[in-house]
Chain A
Amino acid sequence: MHSVRIITLGSHPRDVSLDLLARGIRDILSLDSVIEPIPLDIDAALDPSRKQYHSTELLASLVELESSGEHRVLGITPYDLFIPVLTFVFGQAQLNNRAALFSTFRLHNEFYGLPHSPARLEERCLKEGLHELGHTFGLRHCMELPCVMNSSTYVEDIDLKPADFCLHCREHLRSVC
């Protein structure tokens, strides 16, 4: 039986309850989560010119933490993430492997000049967490709009999709979880 190790990277993301995230993961994915306060040095992944962290390098650090491959590691960071060719990424995961990661940097309403909304932030965090974890279980982006595995390149895309999997993706998860 898999479980999810939730690990913060850098510092604890502002206004985010990891307990709520863990509860959401249990409700939707039926997976227990453990919140682990492991201090990780992430400075090596910082690109000073971009003022962003290289997402793939952070993922590599998370993989090292879970050498057994028994559990999933879900990293969560308040810092902005990038991969070399893109201006930013909301998160990244290893397809069909054990590590996933997302950033809360662009999930805050304030980033877009909108009033602070803790509920909206929690909802976005859960959707991002489920989405990236979905990749670790072999799910690719889903064409179905009402599915958390639908691809999001804007924060509005995240808000539009539900915090749940479509029947097809759920079927896949049932077969691998």
Chain B
Amino acid sequence: MTAFDPSEITIMVVDDELSVRQSLEAWFQDDGYTMVTAENAAEALSRMQEQRIDIILLDIKMPGMDGLALQDRIREFNTDVIIIIITAFATVDTAVRALKAGAFDYTTKPVDPDELSLLVRNAVDRIRLQRENIALRESIDHLQYVDDIIGESAQMQKVFELVKTVAPTDSTVLILGESGTGKELIARAIHMNSTRKYFPIIPVNCGAIPESLMESELFGHEKGAFTGAQYRRKGKLEMARGGSLFLDEIGTLGLKSQVDLLRVLEDREFHRVGGERSVKADFRLICATNVNLSDAVQRGEFREDLYYRINVFTIVLPSLRERQADIPLLANHFLDKHRKAMNKNVEAISPEAMNLLKSYDWPGNVRELVNAIERAVVINKSGTITPDDLPMQMASRPKEAHGEQTLADVERRHIEVMLEENDWNISRTADKLHIDRVTLYNKIEKYGLKRP
């Protein structure tokens, strides 16, 4: 448990006797607690409206509303405050009533100093646990919702809006973006903000699983379904029941698996490999890819019907160079994260190093930035990250498109470079760019490119 400052705990003494109020106030002030007193129920309620009270030391016998009635009244609007009854007229009946109504403890006047200290210490321990619990829950929420998904740029704000819009629906989502832009984080954010958040999100990296194993991986298998299948095994689709299935790099999914997946999406049920009984499919599908699926459809590498099935709601993640304004924010965030994880006293990034980070073109996107900061924290000794702590290639590979701010600028420049590299051979350049010749002609005309 973390250390605490007693002044952060406010104790209210409610007693009609001035000497009791003064005694308890002085006693606990010596311990450093913040003290408040009230001589009757009305004053106590009024104090509670003015400020947060953590512990109430409550007398039972008071003129007007007595302590037990006041406790009932308080419980109607505040279930958190800890109430300790201190009475000179203790009876079993009042003790039982007080405790049943939610009093934390009950003691009689005069009370041993040790007992009173212990009562309040126990109450404080509970408050500290409550606060710690809230802080942990908030940090988990933070992890689930926004950790590492950071950006104040207009592009990222738009992404956050789209996530917020689509998350509560059960729609299939297709996330597009270059490698390292955080597609899986967005998928998790969608899942964690959906009604399925209490069930798992199961990620499948389609590019990492051989086609021959994909069927068993997705659908599971029955015992004896094939050589080596010694036990029945659940597939990813079954594991995602109630939750979400995240198919990363869906563009690399083989044609056979595409057919299988399409069938599941249409029938909402599937069979385990070697199984006869159909299993109900109950998952939300989130896909991601860094390849142009419509081009893949044209090339016959991706089924058109599956493409339309998954291309219901699309979120396009900007590359890091398209949201340069977010680089300082991200860099400082990852510095803080790695500094804490490594327990190293690296507090800042020097202006020179930050300029270098901002001027680099980040082909590996946020993932590359994370690695660069992690590396810098590892090797740094001075407490401030300087250009010397950053990877060598950053210094030698400044952003290629100086002065080019828009995506159109970058596209124009890239097409120009590719045309030059291919000696203005339109078919070959279109092939390299994974676009068709007509599209390339249109872009040449749009950007006014001319053969030198």
A residues lining the B interface (CB < 8 Å): 50, 56, 82-89, 92-93, 95, 135, 140-141, 143, 151, 153-154
Are B17 and A84 in touch, CB under 8 angstroms? yes
Complex: chain A residue closest to B113, CB-CB: A153
Cβ–Cβ contact A88 & B113, under 8 A: yes
Within 8 Å CB of B110, what residues of A? 50, 82, 84-87
B19 touches A154 (CB 8 A): no
User: Can you name the residue of chain A whose Cβ is closest to the Cβ of B59?
Assistant: A85
A151 to B29 alpha-carbon distance, docked (Å): 12
Nearest CB to that of A95 among chain B residues? B29
How would residues 6 to 44 of chain B score, 1 for a CB under 8 Å from any chain A CB and 0 otherwise? 100000000001011011101101111000000000000
Contacts A140-B31, A140-B32, A151-B30 given; does A56 touch B23 at CB 8 Å: yes
Known: A140-B31, A141-B32, A153-B114. A85 touches B109 (CB 8 A): yes
- B202 interface hit (Cβ, 8 Å): no
**Subset of 5 A-B contacts with CB under 8 Å:** A85-B24, A85-B109, A85-B116, A140-B29, A140-B30
> A85 near B86 (CB under 8 angstroms)?
yes
Is B30 in contact with A135, judged by CB distance below 8 angstroms? Answer: yes
Do A89 and B17 form a contact, CB below 8 Å, given A135-B30, A140-B32, A141-B30?
no
Set B26, B29, B109, B117: member contacting A153, Cβ < 8 A: B117
Scan B225-247; emit 1 where CB is below 8 A from any A CB, else 0: 00000000000000000000000
The 8 Å CB contact of B22, one of A56, A89, A153, is: A56
Residue A86 contacts which of B6, B32, B111 (CB distance < 8 angstroms)? B111
Q: How far does the alpha carbon of A89 sit from the alpha carbon of B222 in the complex, in Å?
A: 76
A86 to B88, CA, bound (A): 11
**Whole-angstrom CA separation of A83 from B6 in the bound complex:** 22
Distance (Å) between the CB of B138 and the closest chain A CB? 26
Query: In the bound complex, how far is the Cα of B116 from the Cα of A135, in angstroms?
Result: 20
B50 within 8 A of A: no
B112 within 8 A of A: yes
Tell me whether A92 and B26 are in contact (CB under 8 A). Answer: yes
Residue from the set A50, A84, A135, A143 with the largest chain B CB neighbour count within 10 Å: A84
A141 (CB) vs chain B CBs: closest residue: B31
Contacts of B30 in A (CB 8 A): 93, 95, 135, 140-141, 151
**Interface bits B78-122 vs A (CB < 8 Å: 1, else 0):** 000000001000000000000000000000011111101100000
Question: Is B117's CB under 8 angstroms from A85's CB?
Answer: no
Interface contact B20-A85, CB-CB below 8 Å: yes
Closest to B18 in A: A84
Q: Are B29 and A87 in contact (CB under 8 A)?
A: no
A41 to B195 Cα, complex, angstroms: 76
Residues of A near B116 (CB, < 8 A) are 85-86
Q: Is the CB of A86 within 8 A of B112?
A: yes
Task: State A141–B117 Cα separation when bound (angstroms).
Answer: 12
A151 and B31 contact, CB distance less than 8 A: yes
Cα–Cα distance between A144 and B110 once the two chains are bound (Å) = 28
What is the bound-complex CA distance between A128 and B213, given in angstroms? 78
State the CA gap A95–B23 with chains docked (Å).
13
Query: B6 contacts which chain A residues (CB < 8 A)?
Result: 140
CB of A48, distance to nearest CB on chain B (Å)? 15
Lowest 10 CB-CB distances: which A-B pairs, in order?
A83-B23, A153-B114, A153-B113, A140-B32, A84-B19, A87-B110, A141-B31, A84-B20, A85-B20, A87-B112
Contact B112 A83 (CB under 8 A): no
- Taken together as a complex, chains A and B put the C-alpha atoms of A86 and B113 apart, in Å, by 6
Residues of the B chain whose Cβ atoms lie less than 8 Å from the Cβ of A143: 3
Also in contact, A87 and B17, with CB within 8 A (given A92-B26, A140-B29): no
Complex Cα spacing A92 to B29, Å: 12
Known: A95-B29, A140-B31, A141-B31. A87 touches B23 (CB 8 A): no
Q: Find out whether the CB atom of B112 lies under 8 angstroms from the CB atom of A153.
A: yes
Name which residue of chain B comes closest to A93, CB basis. Answer: B30
A141 to B32, CA, bound (A): 7
On whether A87 and B113 interact (CB within 8 A), knowing A56-B22, A56-B23, A95-B26, the answer reads yes
Closest Cβ neighbor of A154 among chain B residues: B114
Bound CA span A83–B111, Å? 10
Compute how far the CA of A143 lies from the CA of B121 in the bound complex, rounded to whole angstroms. Answer: 12
Distance in Å: Cβ of B30 to nearest Cβ of chain A? 5
- Contact at B23–A84, with CB atoms within 8 Å? yes
Cβ B114 vs Cβ A83 within 8 A: no
User: Please, which residue of chain A has its CB at the minimum distance from the CB of B116?
Assistant: A86
Give chain A residues whose Cβ lies under 8 Å from the Cβ of B22: 56
Asked whether, in the complex, the Cβ of B26 is within 8 Å of the Cβ of A151, the reply is: no
> How many angstroms from the CA of A88 to the CA of B29 in the assembled complex?
17
Question: Considering only CB atoms, which chain A residue lies closest to B86 in the complex?
Answer: A85
- Shortest A90–chain B CB gap in Å is 8
Please give me the residue from chain A that is nearest to B22 by CB atom.
A56
- Nearest-neighbor residue (CB-CB) of A52 within chain B: B110
